[in-house]
Amino acid sequence: MNVRFGRRWMAFGALAAWIAAGVAGSISQALAARRSIYPGQHWSWKAPEEAGFSRHALHDFSQRVGGTGCLVHGGEMIYAWGDVTFRGDVASACKPIYAHLVLQAVQDGRIESLDEPVMRWVPELAELNADLDHKDRGITFRHLLRQNSGYGFQERPGAAFAYNDFATGLLMWTLFYRVHDLPPARYDELLNGRELGAVLGFEDRPTATHPNSPRGRIRISARDLARFMLLYLRGGVWNGQRLMRADLFREALGGGLPHALPRTAGVDAEMLPPVWKSFGGGKDEKNHLGCLKNYWWFNQITPDGTRLLADAPPGTFFGSGYGGRFAMVAIPERDLVAVWLGVYPDLDKSAWSPFSEVGRFKVNELLRELLAARTEAAR
């Protein structure tokens, strides 16, 4: 069902994030004037030309990049390629979903605040690193989301950044198993329940229990990932229902970490036993560039004075996996969501990773090509 709201509701809901991120007021005015459309049981479609895109250019793009993907304009699907129904591994592109579920747990009162010590739920942390004054007792949910927890390294919580998939694994395990009291066989209840999937109407039932993925790692289809991304493009509102409180939504998309936050020195420290496994990667994988927080990347200014994505509009934000080969992207200036999964499958992994040094330029190239497929101002 397509639902439309007044301008005031759109301005408050869909634009709160961009205002928090410092995007120009002209963008807010442009988006506030647009219709607010959401998918129902299935996505509604319109022709690419109706959205101001060339069908032939999009076809050429999809043939060139391969993989799977889809493009959503104004809440309606305008183009797709590959099998957008396939529930596959999307690597770190799914991490913003964990951030959403943590913030939802704060909203529901399960977690008192993001500054609550994780040790309340994982008392085992209290015994770690006695030689470092039991520093892990101070880890909070905010530290884990911002990836400056110091978990597995000698820095104290908050002192240094580490793109650390063992810390993400700790967050996942704590969220599913302790906060929600779900055994691994029931993790999917959280993804597809009232906190997320039951509201967004996921069509392909994403899973965190697939036997070929690390425990808790989400497998999701391209078209369902696009629903999640549309929720964030719409300011945390879905079909008139505010799924996330406005202050928590502002926290989610409040911009990147301070440039001054240093990267970890990489000196190992004690971690919990293997039951708290990695999300699937290492402990010190990339820099934050002042553009990453709560697992979202923002198109902000990097330390070298350039934007993270030089050719994308400044309001662009996204989740990225495998250096950007898997991504969900929102461009509020165009009322656009783009999802691509497993693009350029024949390119060596080193061509994309690490994202902060290599992959971001590939993502910029993909977005430049997508936006070049526009033929006129969207109607």
Q: Where are the domains of the chain?
A: 7-372
Cα–Cα distance, 233 to 236 (Å, whole number):
8
Count how many residues are written for the chain: 379
Question: What average pLDDT does the chain have?
Answer: 90
Cα R_g (the chain), whole angstroms: 20
pLDDT at 214: 78
Please, what's the largest Cα pairwise distance for the chain? 64
Bigger pLDDT: 278 or 45? 45
Residue 215 corresponds to which tokens in the numbers above?
Answer: 């425990």
Over residues 192-210, the mean pLDDT reads 95
Per the listing, tokens 């999964």 go with 341
Q: Rounded to a whole number, what is the distance in angstroms from the first to the last CA of the chain?
A: 20
Cα–Cα distance, 183 to 68 (Å, whole number):
32
pLDDT at 35: 57
pLDDT at 254: 94
pLDDT at 329: 98
Q: Which CATH architecture has domain 7-372?
A: 3-Layer(aba) Sandwich (3.40)
Cα–Cα distance, 113 to 140 (Å, whole number):
9
- Amino acid identity of residue 312, one-letter, is A
pLDDT at 242: 94
Cα–Cα distance, 326 to 343 (Å, whole number):
7
Cα–Cα distance, 300 to 84 (Å, whole number):
30
Nearest C-alpha neighbor of 362 from the set 377, 376, 348: 348
**Number of other residues whose CB lies within 10 A of the CB of residue 260:** 7
Pairing of strands 292-293, 241-242: unpaired
Share of the chain above pLDDT 70, in %: 90
Nearest C-alpha neighbor of 145 from the set 129, 164, 126: 164
Residue 304 corresponds to which tokens in the numbers above?
Answer: 């070298």
pLDDT digits (tens, 9 = 90+) for 272-312: 998 778 998 999 999 999 999 999 999 999 999 999 999 99
Q: How confident is the model at residue 377 (pLDDT cuts 50, 70, 90)?
A: low
Over residues 209-236, the mean pLDDT reads 94
